[in-house]
Chains A and B, each alone.
Chain A
Amino acid sequence: MKASMYLWWARFYSKGKVWILLSPALILVVFLFLGGLGFGIAESLNYMPIIGLNDPNFDAYRAIFSDKGFYKSLLLTLHVAITPTLLSVACALAFGLVLRQSFRGKKVFTFLFSFNLPIPHVVGAIGILFLFSQSGFFARIGHALGWMDMPAEFPIIVNDPWAIGIIIEYVWKETPFIGVIVLAILQSIGEDYEAVAQTLGANRWQRFRYVLLPLVLPGVLIVSVAVMAFFFGDFVIPAILGQTYPAVLAVEAVKDYTHYDLRNHPIGVAQALVIAAIGTVLVFLYMWLNRKFVRSDG
């Protein structure tokens, strides 16, 4: 009896093991993530039978799309997601190219470079705030050097309309992250390809542009997409370093969702879903563009 049960289980497990192994993760994703998304969609459509709302409608979305402020927020959000991604990638490539050379102290600097990987964004934001506010550390240094007298003379960098403070924080935090990946890729590539290109007459720039870049880009693409997706939906940093109005979509959505007037709830939820939709489209667009770029020129 026991023996045949063992055989039954062995056969069953060998057939269904994948699903047995995946089931805990799947349950979590389906119930919490998809469940949350689904419930959110219903809420954004004002469809909540439990409290007597039986007729779904697009009121919340209409309210969003007819609001000028939404478009300002959207532009700002796109700016805050795309600009620091490109800047971080550029900085990461630059640091990667320097750090791959061999020189004295390379180990130390490589460690220092990766130092802020596990440091939280909030702390970075607070540091940036203390450094760049109009009475901040850099303003004081400016004063000490005799470049300015009053805090008001220091350029507005935090809580500013161009989101410079947010971008500085993002680039500060994510450059090392992308950079470490770049460095790992560069190390696995080695220098042979460039040597070959050099013997074929490629100059410095051409070796970078036509040999190194196409080799590095696919890997960089993956991480930078993850980074950009994060920027697009982030709340904390814009809430600390951003201006009050217009704020990025995530901040606006939270503002509406936590508003004391419950009628704003569906609008908040709808905005969150719009962020998710645009963010996802953006991610795919970005991957498509990059792939095209890599293919046609690489």
Chain B
Amino acid sequence: MTHLVLNELSQTYSNTDKPALDRLNLDIKSGMLNALLGPSGCGKTTAMKMIAGILTPTSGDILFDGKSVLAIPAERRGAVMVFQNYLLFPYMSVGENVGFGLKMARMNKATIEKKVLEMLELVQLPGVQNRKPSQLSGGQQQRIALARALIVEPKVLLLDEPLSNLDAHLRDEMRELIRDIQRKMGITTVFVTHDQEEAVMLADKIALIFEGVLQQYDEPDVFYNQPGSLRAAKFFGGVNFLDGEYAANQMTTELGTFSAPRSSLDTGPGVLSIRPEDIEFGTTNDGDNTISARVNSHVYVGTYTKYKIDVNDFRFEVIAEANTKESFPDGSNVTIRFPADKIWILPKG
């Protein structure tokens, strides 16, 4: 059980001036599972490598239970990283791979063998110890890589894009396996992903990073309901945005004034955002926050229908559950309502 703190952690690679990671601050409580989320190239792997100790920070500090670990070399730091492409040693058997860390710790052979079998059991792959890594499928290799990391009982477990190389249903299985094992063993875990859904499903807390800079560090639902910036909102699937001026719980836009009590700013220029599933359809143009619109097109996606709705020059996306709402043909005139408690005002830019 380790309390992990990153303090102004930065990395500037020698061939560039722009930092790959710029003053990252995180505080990960003991036994928590946190996600580093961000588009490819934003510095997630860089952060992981610094925590693991295979990359020395340009500045900043890393604390395990309040003590700096910067001067502890990787092999004694106790932060084990599972790389994105598994990196099973191809010239070793699966069993030797899993037991590698214990062999490095000079544990005796019999104990290693026993623990390897336990670990294979834990990742639900009993009996593969004598195979070569190349004889396993991608998903199996991922589990072996996980077992190889867990066997040394790390203080901190670092998973770099653990699900990105798997296909859809393997991904679900693996996600649950990770969650279960992490809960059971209570290891402080950081995992990296570029997929916001994955982060939301797995993490206790998400650190959203763009271009080396931490944007927001919050619980998953906050990113949906109260994103801190337009970029964060877009990254989490937001599509409906409307510029305007915010003052006294009112958002004034080209399409009219909307009452909006929820906001990330007090007053000034802002952006109105609302999720597609929160917009309500209607036919009567009364009530607050309601405007006339016209259906441009729609796609039926099984359990729901996705509409493109035009209001003057603006286009909104609306998602209507297939069974709860009547359907509107393309070109028909409708009204849409932005419920006041679903609107979230973002800072502009």
Mark A residues whose CB is within 8 Å of B.
3-4, 6-7, 10-11, 14-15
Chain B interface: which size bin? Answer: under 10
Q: Which residue of B lies closest to A18 (CB)?
A: B14
A-B contact count (CB 8 A): 15
B240 within 8 A of A: no
Q: Could you say which residues of chain B place their CB within 8 Å of the CB of A4?
A: 71
- Check A14 against B71 for contact (C-beta < 8 Å): no
Complex contacts, A7 vs chain B, CB 8 Å = 56, 70-71
- Interchain CA distance A9-B43 in the complex, whole Å: 24
Q: Is the CB of A6 within 8 A of B14?
A: no
Does B331 make an interface contact (CB < 8 A)?
A: no
Nearest CB of chain A from residue B182's CB, rounded to whole Å? 30
Minimal Cβ-Cβ distance residue in B for A5: B71
List B residues 46-105 near A (Cβ within 8 Å): 55-56, 70-73
Give 15 CB contacts A-B under 8 Å.
A3-B71, A3-B72, A4-B71, A6-B71, A6-B73, A7-B56, A7-B70, A7-B71, A10-B56, A10-B73, A11-B56, A14-B14, A14-B55, A14-B56, A15-B14
Q: Which residues from 315 to 339 on chain B have a C-beta closer than 8 Å to any C-beta of chain A?
A: none
**Extra inter-chain contacts (12) besides given A3-B72, A6-B71, A15-B14, CB under 8 Å:** A3-B71, A4-B71, A6-B73, A7-B56, A7-B70, A7-B71, A10-B56, A10-B73, A11-B56, A14-B14, A14-B55, A14-B56
- A50 to B98 alpha-carbon distance, docked (Å): 66
List A contacts of B14 (CB < 8 A): 14-15
Complex Cα–Cα for A10 and B11 (A): 14
Question: B71 to nearest A CB, angstroms?
Answer: 3
Chain A proximity of B312: nearest CB distance (Å): 54
The secondary structure that dominates the B interface is loop
Measured in the bound complex, the distance between the Cα atoms of B55 and A10 in whole Å is: 9
Question: B residues near A, CB below 8 A?
Answer: 14, 55-56, 70-73
B198 nearest CB across to chain A (Å): 32
Distance in angstroms between the alpha carbons of A291 and B56 in the assembled complex: 45
Q: Which residue of A lies closest to B56 (CB)?
A: A10
Distance in angstroms from B225 CB to nearest chain A CB is 42
* B72: chain A residues within 8 A (beta carbon): 3
Cβ–Cβ < 8 Å partners of B71 in chain A: 3-4, 6-7
Which residues of B are found within 8 Å of A14, using beta-carbon distances?
Answer: 14, 55-56
* Residues of chain B contacted by A10 (CB below 8 angstroms): 56, 73
Complex: A11 Cα to B72 Cα, angstroms: 13
Q: How far is the CB of B328 from chain A (nearest CB, A)?
A: 52
Q: Least Cβ distance of A125 to chain B in Å?
A: 42
Shortest beta-carbon distance, B228 to chain A, in Å?
34
For A17, the closest partner residue in chain B by CB is B14
Which of B71, B72, B73 has most chain A Cβ within 10 Å? Answer: B71
Q: How far is the CA of A6 from the CA of B56 in the complex (A)?
A: 11
Closest CB-CB distance, A2 to chain B, in whole Å? 8
In the bound complex, how far is the Cα of B73 from the Cα of A278, in angstroms? 53
- With the chains together, A14 CA to B56 CA distance in Å? 8
Nearest-CB residue, chain A, relative to B13: A14
Bound-state CA distance A7–B70 (Å) is 7
For B55, what are the chain A residues with a Cβ–Cβ distance below 8 Å?
Answer: 14
- A199 CA / B56 CA spacing, docked (Å): 58
A38-B72 Cα distance, complex, nearest whole Å: 48
Within the complex, the shortest CB–CB distance from B192 to chain A, in Å, comes to: 22
Closest 5 CB pairs of A and B: A3-B71, A10-B56, A7-B71, A6-B71, A11-B56
Kindly state the separation between the CA atoms of A2 and B14 in the bound complex, as whole angstroms. Answer: 25
Determine the residue in chain A with the shortest Cβ distance to B70.
A7
Q: How far is the CA of A179 from the CA of B155 in the complex (A)?
A: 56
Please give the distance in Å from A4's CB to the nearest CB on chain B: 6
Q: How many angstroms between the C-alpha atoms of A3 and B67 in the bound complex?
A: 13
CA distance A10 to B70 in the complex (A): 10
A162 vs B71: C-alpha distance in the bound complex, in angstroms?
Answer: 71
* A7→B55 CA distance, assembly (Å): 11
- Closest residue of chain A to B14 (Cβ to Cβ) is A15
In whole Å, how far is B56's beta carbon from the nearest beta carbon of chain A? 5
Chain B's closest residue to A3 (CB) is B71
B contact residues around A11 at 8 Å (CB): 56
- In the complex formed, the residue of B with least CB distance to A2 is B71
Residues of B within 8 A of A15 (CB): 14
Instruction: State the CA gap A6–B72 with chains docked (Å).
Output: 8
Chain B residues with Cβ below 8 Å from A6 are 71, 73
In angstroms, Cα B56 to Cα A130, docked, is: 65
Cα(A100)–Cα(B33), bound, Å: 56
Bound Cα distance from A7 to B58, whole angstroms: 11
Q: Kindly provide the distance from the CB of A17 to the nearest chain B CB, expressed in whole angstroms.
A: 10
Q: Please, which residues of chain A bring their CB within 8 A of the CB of B56?
A: 7, 10-11, 14
Chain A's nearest CB lies how many Å from the CB of B301? 40
Query: Nearest chain-B residue to A7 (Cβ)?
Result: B71
Give Cα distance in the complex from A4 to B70, angstroms: 9
Compute how far the CA of A11 lies from the CA of B73 in the bound complex, rounded to whole angstroms. Answer: 12
